[in-house]
């Protein structure tokens, strides 16, 4: 039976790729159903693999094809990888279900199944980024992920969304260029592409003191590339336009999981190629810490100044990405644990926030500015509740998962040498700023509309059921994890030790 389980990660990637190919032949609703089924199957497969890895107590290296290392290609999965794969596939399936209404409403005819092809491709590339043990395969799937994300953005046939997709692509390709250069540097120095061999060579070269500068340059390029792609300050400028023009489902997928896919890949590089000692010795961690703190503050300030709910959510995403990088910059154990927890927390929360804001905008006549949103929480009651719980989680109110991650960030901050004050201060300031903009929005959506003011016409058939399902699942998950997070924390702790 064990033999069978270890095939699941490889099958998941192939299944998602196959689904995207088959979707081209299907009609629009069949393509949607296929995507939902495949994502759900992959979620179950990830859980099975997780169970197997937890029972076995060690990570598994799986040979792709018939050539053993160092010539062949490999995938490798431990607890960390399986948890991330399960999170990605769960959020993907809920975003596809919840976003289906807006896709039907706003994407015409045959383009709908193109949308689901891109969703399948995005999931396949995210899984490959999570599981891969080969640096060049990682690069190829980073590019596939970028193309899929661009497809999800440009699916709406409006000038705004295409120009937003263009801007996203340009930022993203700069990141990819730096990433590939870093990979070539590393290959040039070590002559390997697989993570274990790379780690061995890098460790012995670093210990001998040879090639310090090229190795540091490679580490710099390999971390800055994904940082640009995931939108770390000051490279977050594409976010507001991109997320505000995307469909709610696409924005949830992009902000919730695609930007996290790059971070997970980078975490794997840091742990499995360079090792955390080199990462912290080289000073890159300090850059992460500083830019992460800047992102937390400037992202939140941008969110306060934003004139519409979707731009506010986008700036808020930039701030939350900052938390993750700050965690990675603090320490190898608890800092990374906090960052990994926040990846899950933000994936679950932000996708719910984007989906519910999409519904709030829809019942406000398609307008996303705060004035039009007045009373939206009464017009779409469930969306209002989902948004409120999501906002509470982003702020870090107890009973939600955001609270748990904030506690871990604070605990990590206490252990940070010399940076304790900065980290704790940044956490406090950023929390207050979060409260300001989320409270402002919540007061706005729950203020009843004045009698006789402009009537908001709700166009299109109600798409409530699917959205309600996704929103409820994400909200319940958020609260459950907020109430009882210890098992997940323990698993992630073991996963980070095993990585």
Partner 1 sequence: MIHNILHNYLFWVSMIIFVIGIFMLALDRNLIKKIIGLNIMDTAAYLFLGSLGYIQGLSAPIFTGKTMGQTGSELFINPIPSALVLTGIVVSVSVTALLLALTVRLYKKYNTLNLDEIIEAAGKEEDDD
CB 93 within 8 A of CB 106: no
Check binding of 170 to partner 1 (CB under 8 A).
yes
Give the single-character DSSP code of 254.
I
Check binding of 160 to partner 1 (CB under 8 A).
yes
Check binding of 17 to partner 1 (CB under 8 A).
no
How far apart CA 100 and CA 32 sit, in angstroms, is 8
Among 18, 173, 297, 488, binds partner 1 (CB under 8 A): 173
Check binding of 106 to partner 1 (CB under 8 A).
yes
How far apart CA 180 and CA 222 sit, in angstroms, is 8
Stretch that binds partner 1, among 28-36, 100-108, 113-121, 388-396 (CB under 8 A): 100-108
Among 72, 177, 283, 398, binds partner 1 (CB under 8 A): 177
Which SS3 state, helix, strand or coil, does residue 61 take?
strand
CB 244 within 8 A of CB 308: yes
Among 165, 267, 284, 352, binds partner 1 (CB under 8 A): 165
Smallest separation, CB 376 to partner 1 (Å): 17
Q: What is the 3 state secondary structure string of 378-404?
A: HHCHHHHHHHHHHHHHHHCCCCCHHHH
- Helix ranges (H only) for 57-155 are 79-106, 111-131, 135-154
How far apart CA 225 and CA 217 sit, in angstroms, is 12
Q: Which is nearer to partner 1, 146 or 223 (CB)?
A: 146
Stretch that binds partner 1, among 3-11, 152-160, 278-286, 295-303 (CB under 8 A): 152-160
Check binding of 167 to partner 1 (CB under 8 A).
yes
> DSSP strand E in 126-279: where?
none
Helices vs. strands in the chain: H and E counts, helices first: 22, 2
Q: Which is nearer to partner 1, 146 or 282 (CB)?
A: 146
CA quadruple 48, 49, 52, 54: dihedral, nearest 10? -110
Question: Which residues have CB under 8 Å from 175's CB, separation 6+?
Answer: 224, 225, 226, 227, 228, 229, 235, 262
Q: Which is nearer to partner 1, 218 or 401 (CB)?
A: 218
Check binding of 69 to partner 1 (CB under 8 A).
no
Q: Which is nearer to partner 1, 176 or 434 (CB)?
A: 176
Check binding of 163 to partner 1 (CB under 8 A).
yes
Q: Which is nearer to partner 1, 367 or 440 (CB)?
A: 367
* Size of site (CB under 8 A) for partner 1: 37
Smallest separation, CB 39 to partner 1 (Å): 24
Q: Which is nearer to partner 1, 308 or 478 (CB)?
A: 308
Q: Which is nearer to partner 1, 158 or 453 (CB)?
A: 158
Q: Which is nearer to partner 1, 398 or 460 (CB)?
A: 460
How far apart CA 430 and CA 299 sit, in angstroms, is 9
Stretch that binds partner 1, among 34-42, 173-181, 296-304, 311-319 (CB under 8 A): 173-181
Which SS3 state, helix, strand or coil, does residue 62 take?
strand
Q: Which is nearer to partner 1, 140 or 435 (CB)?
A: 140
Residue 325 tokens, joined: 């990088």
Which SS3 state, helix, strand or coil, does residue 283 take?
coil
Q: Which is nearer to partner 1, 143 or 333 (CB)?
A: 143
Give the single-character DSSP code of 257.
I
Check binding of 220 to partner 1 (CB under 8 A).
no
Question: Which x/- pattern, by CB under 8 A, does the window 179-218 give for partner 1?
Answer: -xx--x--xx----x-------------------------
How far apart CA 339 and CA 458 sit, in angstroms, is 40
Check binding of 146 to partner 1 (CB under 8 A).
yes
Smallest separation, CB 464 to partner 1 (Å): 21
Give the number of other Cβ atoms within 10 Å of residue 410's Cβ.
Answer: 16
How far apart CA 104 and CA 178 sit, in angstroms, is 38
Rounded to 5 degrees, φ, ψ at 456 are: -95, 120
Among 157, 210, 454, 490, binds partner 1 (CB under 8 A): 157
Q: Which chain residues interact with partner 1 by CB under 8 A?
A: 106-108, 136, 139-140, 143, 146-147, 150, 154, 156-160, 162-167, 169-170, 173-174, 177-178, 180-181, 184, 187-188, 193, 241, 245, 366
């Amino acid at each position: 039976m064990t033999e069978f389980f270890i095939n699941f990660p490889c099958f998941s990637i192939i299944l998602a790729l196959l689904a995207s190919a088959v979707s081209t032949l299907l009609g629009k609703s069949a393509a949607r159903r296929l995507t939902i089924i495949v994502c759900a199957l992959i979620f179950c497969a990830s859980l099975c693999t997780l169970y197997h890895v937890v029972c076995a107590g060690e990570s598994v290296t799986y040979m792709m094809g018939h050539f053993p290392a160092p010539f062949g290609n490999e995938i490798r999965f431990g607890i960390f990888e399986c948890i991330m794969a399960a999170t990605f596939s769960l959020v993907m399936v809920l975003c596809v279900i919840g976003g289906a209404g807006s896709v039907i409403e706003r994407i015409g005819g045959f383009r709908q199944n193109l949308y689901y092809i891109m969703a399948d491709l995005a999931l396949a590339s995210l899984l490959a980024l999570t599981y891969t043990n080969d640096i060049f395969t990682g690069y190829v799937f980073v590019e596939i992920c970028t193309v899929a994300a661009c497809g999800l953005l440009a699916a709406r046939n409006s000038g705004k969304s295409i120009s937003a997709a263009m801007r996203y692509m340009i930022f993203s390709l700069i990141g990819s260029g730096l990433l590939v250069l870093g990979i070539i540097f590393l290959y040039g120095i070590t002559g390997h592409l697989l993570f274990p061999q790379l780690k061995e060579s890098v460790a012995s070269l670093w210990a001998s003191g040879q090639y310090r500068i090229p190795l540091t340059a490679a580490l710099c390029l390999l971390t800055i590339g994904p940082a640009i792609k995931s939108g770390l300050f000051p490279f977050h400028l594409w976010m507001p336009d991109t997320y505000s023009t995307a469909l709610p489902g696409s924005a949830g997928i992009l902000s919730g999981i695609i930007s996290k896919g790059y971070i997970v890949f980078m975490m794997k590089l840091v742990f499995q190629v360079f090792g955390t000692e080199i990462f912290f010795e080289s000073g890159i961690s300090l850059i992460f810490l500083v830019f992460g703190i800047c992102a937390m503050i400037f992202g939140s300030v941008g969110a306060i100044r934003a004139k519409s709910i979707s731009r506010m959510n986008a700036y808020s995403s930039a701030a939350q990405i900052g938390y993750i990088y700050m965690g990675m910059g603090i320490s190898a154990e608890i800092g990374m644990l906090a960052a990994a927890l926040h990846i899950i927390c933000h994936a679950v929360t932000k996708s719910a926030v984007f989906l519910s804001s999409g519904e709030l905008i829809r019942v406000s006549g398609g307008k996303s500015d705060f004035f039009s949103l007045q009373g939206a929480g009464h017009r779409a009651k469930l969306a209002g509740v989902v948004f409120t719980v999501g906002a509470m989680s982003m702020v870090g109110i107890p009973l939600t998962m955001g609270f748990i991650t904030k506690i871990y960030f604070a605990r990590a901050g206490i252990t940070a040498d010399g940076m304790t004050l900065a980290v704790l201060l940044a956490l406090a300031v950023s929390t207050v700023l979060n409260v300001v903009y989320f409270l402002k929005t919540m007061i706005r959506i729950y203020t009843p509309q004045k009698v006789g003011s402009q009537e908001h016409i709700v166009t299109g058939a109600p798409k409530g059921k699917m959205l309600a399902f996704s929103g409820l699942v994400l909200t319940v998950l958020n609260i459950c994890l907020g109430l009882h997070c210890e098992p997940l924390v323990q698993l992630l702790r073991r996963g980070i030790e095993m990585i």
